[in-house]
Amino acid sequence: MRKRLGPALAALLSLVASMLVSTLIVPAPAHAAVGLRVSGTRIMEANGNAFVMRGVSHAHTWYTSQTGSFANIKALRANTVRVVLSGGRWPANNAADVANVVSLCRQNRLICVLENHDTTGYGEQSGAYTLDQAVDYWSSIRSALTGTEDFIIVNIGNEPIGNNNVSTWTSATTSAITRMRGLGFQHMLLVDAPNWGQDWQFTMRDNAQTVANADPQRNTVFSVHMYGVFDTAAEINAYLNAFQTAGLPLVIGEFGHNHSDGNPDEDTIMSQAVSRGIGYIGWSWSGNGGGVEYLDMVTNFNAASLTSWGQRIFNGANGIAATSREATFFGGGGTDTTAPTTPGTPSAAGITSSGANLTWSASTDAGGSGLAGYDVYREQGTTDPLLGSTTTNSIALTGLTASTQYQVYVRARDGAGNRSGNSPTTTFTTTSGGGPGGGCTATGTVQSQWGGGYVTQATVTNSGTAPTTSWTVTFTLPAGHTIAGSWNATLTTSGQTVTARNAGYNGNLSAGGTANFGFQITRPGGNTSTVTSYTCASS
């Protein structure tokens, strides 16, 4: 039998043991990320190279036999694939199956975003899982993900809340992140917005910093899904601006060219993602049903049979083929550090009160990733606003202000994200426009309101006898009110004064013609004031 140690000796040995353990085991820094990591608004590889997602979703959980899709998606130059998985709401993907997916991603040199689809529409759709249940699933397959932090991203739960009880998103998401880290996951985490991913109530936007702070590794990226809610350039830009202003990382985790809830503006989604260095993942490779078969990129998983949507996202302007750069982790395809040559001096023609046509000598790119396009800026002090983007060496600028001098320059960009120097500037002045019989009026109608805000639809009417080419509406916000979002107009704010200018497509009004724009306001709780008066000017 073993002899029992005396209390003093036992205590001494325990102290020595604890000292040895504390000497030998050095805890990792609280904020140390492993593999893919967040740096400000950007995603970085472990070696410090920036990585921008250009990819598509693949509905693996329903089509587990379609493993050739990984090679086919790669052959069309995607650098990312988002893989649909399930823990039981649909055919379950166990650890062995996920390990095979991981192997396919590595073999085909693809960054792999693994997403749990079980949470889709929780609170609104019967059978949906909670984010907490999603974490249980990730825990069950953790063995398949060990050591994959350089090329695997964990998308905790797809569209985790529908349109009911959306306020619970913040606590549910922070809890899920905390649990994932507690389980030992070192991967970059991706979290989807509520409102079926579209965040039209801005819950994710307004609480993103709180969620980011919940991750001890500061390695969480936010994902918005852009469908019918994002059918105008103004809405898209306003949402992307909010995250860039906040300094938080955002990707467009899903989008399409059409949808049952409206017609997304895929051209702006893609061009803005490229010009801002934001990742995008289109939905989806093949196998759609339920009336959205038009979102298939290829027919019956046949890579040689691209649909019109497939042609658009892979081969169109700002598409995957032109802008995708392979992750350097895989040892190739991502070494282009050569910027395109500087474009020539832009030349202005066709100047009107609200637009101008610019052309310039084209740039060339010798780095290997290919010339992706051009961005046109207005030189205006410390911050030069982007006036437009194009894939050719010409552009038709719209939405300009009448009787205003513009000094503009052009920058080229390649598929690896390298940017040229600024071209020489050119200066032009828009015409005064308008004429006899000009004038406009503006009215606003509150469409919906709640304790902390309201939504207003405004109508601009050409009250004169001559056509107009542009309009400007000004209004004053009540004290404590702030703009939360807008559509069909470009809004700028100075103090409590808001100026709304027409978008590029709704400034031309015939006599008696109308245009609409809208905005959402945030106001102090209990305050019932709304915007009541508007001033309109046209040209």
Can you name the residues that pair with 155 across neighbouring β-strands? 115, 190
CB 326 within 8 A of CB 75: no
Distance of CA 44 to the CA centre of its chain: 16
CA 401/CA 433 separation, integer angstroms: 10
Percentages of the chain per state (helix, strand, coil), in multiples of 5: 25, 30, 45
Element (H, E) at 81: strand 80-85
Which two tokens mark 329? 């982790």
- β-pairing verdict for 471-476 and 535-538: antiparallel
Q: Measuring CA to CA, which residue among 333, 331, 338 is closest to residue 367?
A: 338
Closest to 175 (Cα-Cα) out of 157, 163, 159? 157
Conformation bin of residue 77: beta by default, left when phi > 0, alpha when psi is -120 to 50: left
Angle made by CA atoms 183, 189, 193, in degrees to the nearest 5: 120
The position carrying tokens 């085909």 is 108
Distance CA 399, CA 354 (A): 5
**Spatial separation of the C-alpha atoms in residues 135 and 400, rounded to whole Å:** 49
**Is residue 115 among the annotated active site residues?**
no
Half-sphere exposure of 323 (CA within 13 A, CB side): 32
User: Among 159, 235, 266, 326, which one carries the catalytic annotation?
Assistant: 159
**Which position among 115, 149, 235, 254 bears the catalytic label?**
254
Determine the Cα–Cα distance for residues 390 and 373; give it in Å rounded to an integer. 6
List the end-to-end C-alpha distance of the chain, in Å, as a whole number.
Answer: 101
The identity of residue 1, as a single letter, is: M
Q: Which of 149, 206, 151, 159 is nearest to 181 (CA)?
A: 149
Say which amino acid occupies 493: T
State how far the alpha carbon of 241 is from the alpha carbons of 200, 245, 247, 334, in Å.
15, 6, 10, 28
Note if 124 is an active site residue. Answer: no
Q: Kindly list the catalytic residues.
A: 159, 254
